[in-house]
A and B are shown apart, each in its own frame.
Chain A
Amino acid sequence: MFIIDSLTKTYGGSTVLDDVSFCAPDGAITGFVGPNGAGKTTTMRIITGLTHATAGHVEVGGEPFPAAQRPARRLGVFLSAEGIPPSMTAHAYLDYACRTQGMPTSRVAQVLADVDLSWAAHHRVTSFSLGMRQRLGIGAATLTEPSHLILDEPANGLDPDGIRWFRDFVRASADSGVSILLSSHHMRELGAVADQVVMIDGGRILAHGSLQEFLAAAQAQHGEQQVVYLEVSDPDTARHALLAQGITVERQHHGLMAHGVPPERLAALVVESGVGLTHLAAQAQSLEDTYFTLLGASNGRN
């Protein structure tokens, strides 16, 4: 489990993290979201020991990461594909990682095959595309089968196959008990895999909880109404009938979008107006919608 407790980081007079606290449990994928400059990378760098916190405490598996006896078995890290030393070859990079942990280097070939880079094993990283660097970085983070993973924007530059592979991989890892802290701007991707979400903005935690709690709380907190999409045989007649009932309704694509009314009541009203109902679906609030809702509210407060 990651425990981040009252983390504060200041540079000169500027506070980039302000009393940040959250937990990322074992066996779960914790999505870490926020706009650029929100403090995600600084938090991750402090967890990994690359940056020192001004105040606060971080534990990875029950102790600060630098105290781990077998560091790469405790925590696998992928912070940036740009950080992979460009002069090294893919093989040398993974070989170095293995040797620092006293691990057999036979694992290198296996990981290179897993991330589909066997053919480029002895090419310098500088000749790699962004996607190849991403795959190599993810491979390196998982080389030692760590009990914790920190992944910062891992899906950047991955092709659809790579994204699917990555999604399956993190899901399987979490299911086997690994604690994963995953930062991403791809809300749809994150929404598909995250078990819980931590949202940060301006160095402060805005929201934190399971994905369902996160979506529901944001909806409740900001008075968001249920949205229902419906397709009918005569949209104009149906729209007028709903407007007459005081329902907010708007045209969208081939149908209508109604706000603030349960789907069953909408269906009854449409049928009563003598219009044929061909499709009706309650619109679920997505992680992306929630993210922008919370961000907008935060910016409004600031």
Chain B
Amino acid sequence: MHTAQKEARGSIGDVRGRQTALMVTRAEMRRHLRRGGMRGGIITAASLGGGLGLLMLLIDNAMDGESMLFPVIAVGSGAALAAFVLAVATVFRVGRDEQGQIALALTLVPDRRRLYLARAAGFSLVGAATCAAVAVVLCATALLLHAGEPEVRWSLLAIPLALCGGSLAVLFGFGLTSLVRRSSAGILLFIGVVVVLPLGFFAVGFSLPESIAPAAELLAMNTPLPHLAEAFDASSMPNPESSGTDILAGMTGLLAWGLLPTLAAWPIFNRGEAR
């Protein structure tokens, strides 16, 4: 019997056509949302991010704050914290996936390019959705607390920013851990890049002649954490006091930090032994 005929036989007549990256991405997202997936990380990220934002909004409301941009900052800060926590959760999840999940997935999705793309997209989309959900809740709260204040409407911009920034922050965690293929090494690399690297640049900057010290500072400001803060800061959208380029710079930086390790890890995933 011809292989194609055999594949068409049996009780499973309604298998859709060929396997696609979109099909696998949806399966990956569903896996993350199930028990044993990223539920813990999502709940922690949403709780911490949402909690910080709500706390800032409530304190601002209680103190009758005069700056109408503070609620906007609160929404962005909450979403940014959620993105940061999700990036850490992704490091652990990707590392844990190396203990059998990758091998299992490759027997179902043997096209490694398709699987890698779907895995990266699956993590990123879950990150995007979680951060956006946090931003939506915080936005709604900010608008409720400050009804009628036009500046507070800027907080609505935090939602698309959270959508993009959340996905890129999680992609950064995915890429880093895909490079080293272990949670422990992934978290060390994450801390190294996010914390140690900028501190190192600042320290070097102090010991350099004054003429070239700004270069070290520039490098420190181009590490992931400053970009994360900039990318989520809806209060710096174009307005009479701001050109809005900080958000663009932050998002571009975050995009670079997300893509760089993810692309660098591709040959490792493509050529490596699946454990």
Contact = CB atoms under 8 A, between A and B. Distances in A.
A89 B108 contact: no
Nearest to B118: A100
Contacts of A146: 7
Interface stretch (A80-88, A160-168, A276-284, A287-295): A80-88
Interface in B15-53: 15-20, 23-24, 26-27, 30-31, 34-37
B107 A50 contact: yes
Interface in A66-119: 66-75, 77, 79, 82-89, 92-93, 95-97, 99-104, 107
B19 A102 contact: yes
B19 A69 contact: yes
Interface string B78-112: 00000000000000000011011101111111111
A177 interface: yes
Contacts of B106: 48-50
Given A96-B31, A102-B23, A122-B35, A83 B110 contact: no
A122 B36 CA distance: 11
Contacts of B1: 26-27, 177
B126 to A, nearest CB: 14
B12 A92 contact: no
Contacts, number: 137
B239 interface: no
Contact of A48 (B12, B110, B111): B110
A125 B18 CA distance: 30
B148 interface: no
Contact of A144 (B12, B26, B30, B110): B12
B207 interface: no
Choose among A68, A122, A124 the residue with the greatest number of B CB atoms under 10 Å from its CB: A68
Contacts of A147: 3, 6-7
B14 interface: yes
A177 B271 CA distance: 33
A51 B273 contact: yes
Given A65-B110, A66-B111, A74-B7, A100 B101 contact: no
B100 A86 contact: yes
Contacts of B10: 145
Interface residues of B, number: 43
A62 interface: yes
Nearest to A68: B110
A74 B23 contact: no
Contacts of B199: none
Point out which of A66, A69, A102 has the most chain B C-beta atoms below 10 A from its C-beta: A102
Given A122-B35, A177-B1, A52 B271 contact: yes
Nearest to A51: B273
A35 interface: no
B11 interface: yes
A71 B14 contact: no
B19 A50 contact: no
A178 interface: yes
Contact of A101 (B31, B34, B97, B108): B108
Contacts of B271: 52
Contacts of B7: 61, 70, 73-74, 146-147
B19 A101 contact: yes
Contact of B19 (A84, A95, A100): A100
A147 B10 CA distance: 10
Interface of A: 26-27, 45, 48-52, 61-62, 65-75, 77, 79, 82-89, 92-93, 95-97, 99-104, 107, 122, 124, 144-147, 176-178
10 nearest A-B pairs in the assembled complex, by CB-CB distance:
A99-B27, A102-B16, A61-B3, A147-B6, A69-B18, A145-B10, A87-B36, A66-B110, A77-B107, A73-B7
Given A26-B1, A48-B106, A69-B18, 19 more contacts: A51-B274, A61-B6, A69-B19, A71-B107, A71-B108, A74-B3, A79-B103, A83-B100, A84-B100, A84-B104, A85-B36, A85-B100, A86-B99, A92-B31, A96-B31, A99-B26, A102-B23, A124-B36, A145-B10
11 contacts: A70-B7, A75-B107, A77-B107, A85-B99, A85-B101, A92-B34, A96-B30, A96-B108, A100-B27, A103-B14, A177-B6
